[in-house]
Amino acid sequence: MNNYLKVFRSILFLSILGLFSLSTYAKTQVVKTLCEYHQNPIGIDIPKPRMSWQLSADLNNVKQTAYEIRTAYSVSDLSKKSRQVWNSGKVMSDQSVNVVYGGPAISSMQRVWWQVRTWDQDGKASGWSEPAYWETGILNTNEWKANWISLPDEPESKASLPVHYYRFSFGSTKKVKSARLYISSRGLYEAYINGVKVGDQLFTPGWTSYKNRIQYQSYDVTKMLSVDNTIAAKVGEGWYRGYIGFNGQRNYYGDKLALLAQLKIDYTDGTSEIISTGDDWKVSTGPILKSDIYNGEEYDARLEMNGWKENRFDETNWKRVVELDLAKDVLVAPQGEPVRAVEELKAIKHITTPKGEMVFDMGQNMVGWIKVKMQGKKGDRVQIKFAEVLDKEGNFYTDNLRGAECTDTYIFAHDGVTVYEPSFTFHGFRFVQFIGLEKAPALEDITGVVIHSDMPSTGSFECGNELVNQLQHNIRWGQKGNFLDVPTDCPQRDERLGWTGDAQAFSMTAGFNFDVAPFYTKWMKDVAFDQLENGKIPHVIPDVLSGQGGATGWADVVAIIPWTMYKIYGDTRILEESYPAIQKWIGYMNERAGDDHLWTGDYHFGDWLAFATTSSDYPGATTEKDLIATAYFYYTTSLAAKMAAVLHRPVDQKKYETLAFQVKKAFDAEFVTPNGRLVSHTQTAYVLALSFGLMPDGLEQAAAGYLAGDVKKFGHLTTGFLGTPLLCHTLSTIGRDDLAFMLLNRKEYPSWLYPVTQGATTIWERWDGQKPDGTFQDVGMNSFNHYAYGAIGEWLYSHVAGIRLDEDHPGYKHFFLAPHPGGELYYTNASFESMYGLIVSNWREEKGLLVYKVEIPANSTATVVLPSAKLDEVDMQSSLKALAKQVGDEVQIGLGSGKYSFSYPYLHK
């Protein structure tokens, strides 16, 4: 027995020692290293790139107190002090997000390796991170040796023209060390080397303000080269020359498609070679007879040129290209996420409609195209049409597509089976119709290819109400379908434009669901480039409406999204870069408002698509546009004052604070009665005044009462694009969660859940896109994939789940975990991947208790706020009790990183 006791004591001693050792020697690791929000980016043109990293640790309360970054031109040189390009030295700082490179200028086409290590709160150093890198692209215009090339003698046409096919062959007997392809086009391109597609990006070079800047891509093609090589590419019309905008507009940016490509090969013997587009390249047209974003693709397989992108192809009948004298100083490296084929869906049902149409249901309103395996005979012409919905009778419905044909056409070259998918078009659809096929494809032979900007998913939200879960699903799919290089309003009809109002209204929700920092960084540059000299911001970006703009709530995107990105990511550079455009826009508003500081008389969209019907069955409201315009004049000016403070511009800060005060004074005199009632007695008017801080001191409560009374009177929302994003948030701020949850849970029209009850899988443009009787709204404007009303998602994440940022400590350096149980939810599981790591906020009502579990990433802190709690009733880790305090009916606890859980008696509201 004594022997057993000795063994037990030995095991216990070793276990305790092991635990002590783990807690004493457990080290922090540096993980998820990023440069300019990308992992190991190739082809950037930012002179001073920024580096970010996360910390991973087993212990709680881990905080970075210092860091050291080292850079070199090779991995092996990182550890050699004399060979390093730049070493930051030990910097006493807790900054781990967007740390600016401080070394010498980096030349073009140069890879820079980097590592970082950190010190924690106890002064212990981590190990070095895994080597990461960034690589510059072509930084100087004179380094472009390639020339723009095009198809000679192309006829002028008001209709779509065939896709261009380019090729060039060359040999190389030396051993390749590395090879990079730098390539762009006027139009959309796909490139190939030796028959293999270069990269997995789609719709390159992307859509920008082409008259000011055109992106080029950089690809590592080292492993694609051999002794005999062929570079090939096809170029379609895309946004550059295709139909874009309204009224059949084409050739907005130019009437000539063109290709520019430069291949740089470095050999192991120290020599280099450049292969570039020039007059020795060959060009032809081929099987893609037309390729248009709105109208679709026509592919005649009888014109296929087998082997056209490979070696030893007979190019006798191909033409020599013509060189075009087009600008190269417009070329820039991309900053956004590329568009990719992100997932695939299979058809779920074959439908024969009452009209006898052959239709397939994909089960999800999606954006992309279908890849289909089908059987036909030589010369058979098969049309593939796309629609979002079926009509009341169950027939294929395309009236809401307006002028967009949304049709892909395939002509069989031979009898038999083929597999087809298009190249340079996309569609917004759930239903697919086949015309011209004798035999319907099997369900497994129809694949929906889902495409969007490949943004990393960062957020998740789930609750105890399945209808709300479907709403969250619809919000995410609406974002995916419309974040296709630019934030479009819709993906299906003859529009698909970067409407600025939709983008700003949804930006906070967008930043919860996905990492949108690169996406918006890229797009905001085009906002600035397309701004008019007088400061006016166009309605759509890139601007294809010839400068139409200046609408309040739309043009304010120039300030709202940069400020949102600052709050979410702690990004000050986007503030710096956007600041001149913001100043010009405020100058424009100030000039339009005049000496009385009231912006009146100009055309505005107002609270677009507000529920404004005067039907006795569905009463609504309309908000005065002058009130909205003056409110946004104040709001954007006040944001500019905050930005000036962040950017250390005290003179500007004072100027904008003074102007904002003057606008607020004018607003209150013009639009607010002495009793706190607004001249537009609408939900939107009150949420703007309350959320923007426009109400006079002492009248906020009166305005809150009017807002609550209006919501209670109607029993539903009456807001549009500008009021809806702020409605539930404002109700919660004034202490009326009961009304906010009532609006969320309402299933009848108008509401967020009404479309869900109608089978929606994305967010609709209108509250009643499909009416209760099965009929549709106005065909002129009735998209079933329009993300703006999905802005309710921000309230679900930040208020219901409680993941709320702290504006004073942006980027979630410090944040609040302040859940608000209510409605018919009973639990939420929510998470958000911040720049510091994963944040988790899960609450559940369970047997009279509220159980709350949270996770806080290393190098950040949070204040947990437990609602309707008494400190002495909260079950928590004993070590936390000294940190907790009672504040009114809440318990607040300031915490460092780690996982924590709490429970206490809670009465369901």
Q: Please report how many Cα atoms fall inside a 13 Å half-sphere around the Cα of residue 196, on the Cβ side.
A: 10
- Alpha helix positions (H), 715-801: 724-733, 737-745, 753-757, 793-795
DSSP labels, 303-367 = G--TTTTSTT---TTPEEPEEE---STTEE---SPPEEEEEEEE--EEEE-TT--EEEEEEEEEE
Task: Provide the β-strand partners of residue 185.
Answer: 259
Q: CB of 95 within 8 A of CB of 119? A: no
> Strand, coil or helix: what is 301?
helix
Sign of dihedral through CA atoms 197, 198, 202, 208?
A: negative
Residue that is written with structure tokens 């809806």 in the block: 724
Q: CB of 54 within 8 A of CB of 62? A: no
Q: Cα(815)–Cα(865) distance, rounded to whole angstroms?
A: 11
Nearest to 459 by CA among 877, 790, 780: 790
Q: CB of 589 within 8 A of CB of 633? A: yes
DSSP labels, 643-706 = HHHHTT-HHHHHHHHHHHHHHHHHHHHHHB-TTS-BSS-SHHHHHHHHHHT-SPTT-HHHHHHH
What's the residue count for the chain? 909
Residue that is written with structure tokens 């000016």 in the block: 637
Nearest to 491 by CA among 705, 261, 65, 783: 783
Confirm whether 577 is a catalytic residue.
Answer: no
Q: CB of 539 within 8 A of CB of 549? A: yes
Cis preceding linkage at 205, omega within 30: yes
Cα radius of gyration (the chain) = 30
Sign of dihedral through CA atoms 8, 13, 16, 21?
A: negative
Residue that is written with structure tokens 């709350």 in the block: 852
| Per-residue H/E/C for 515-567 | CCHHHHHHHHHHHHHHCCCCCCCECECCCCCCCCECCCCCCCHHHHHHHHHHH
Task: Provide the β-strand partners of residue 118.
Answer: 67
Residue that is written with structure tokens 């290209």 in the block: 321
Largest CA distance in the chain: 101
Nearest to 673 by CA among 687, 660, 689: 689
Q: CB of 293 within 8 A of CB of 238? A: yes
- List, in order, residues 6 or more apart from 648 with CB less than 8 Å away: none
- List, in order, residues 6 or more apart from 417 with CB less than 8 Å away: 373, 374, 375
Confirm whether 591 is a catalytic residue.
Answer: no
Q: From the candidates 36, 495, 794, 833, give the one annotated as an active-site residue.
A: 495
Nearest to 841 by CA among 861, 817, 863, 865: 817
Q: Cα(802)–Cα(90) distance, rounded to whole angstroms?
A: 37
Q: From the candidates 190, 237, 765, 794, give the one annotated as an active-site residue.
A: 765
Task: Provide the β-strand partners of residue 285.
Answer: 164
DSSP labels, 409-442 = EEE-SSSEEEEE--SS--EEEEEEEEES-SSPPP
Q: Cα(558)–Cα(504) distance, rounded to whole angstroms?
A: 9
**Residues carrying an active site annotation:** 495, 765
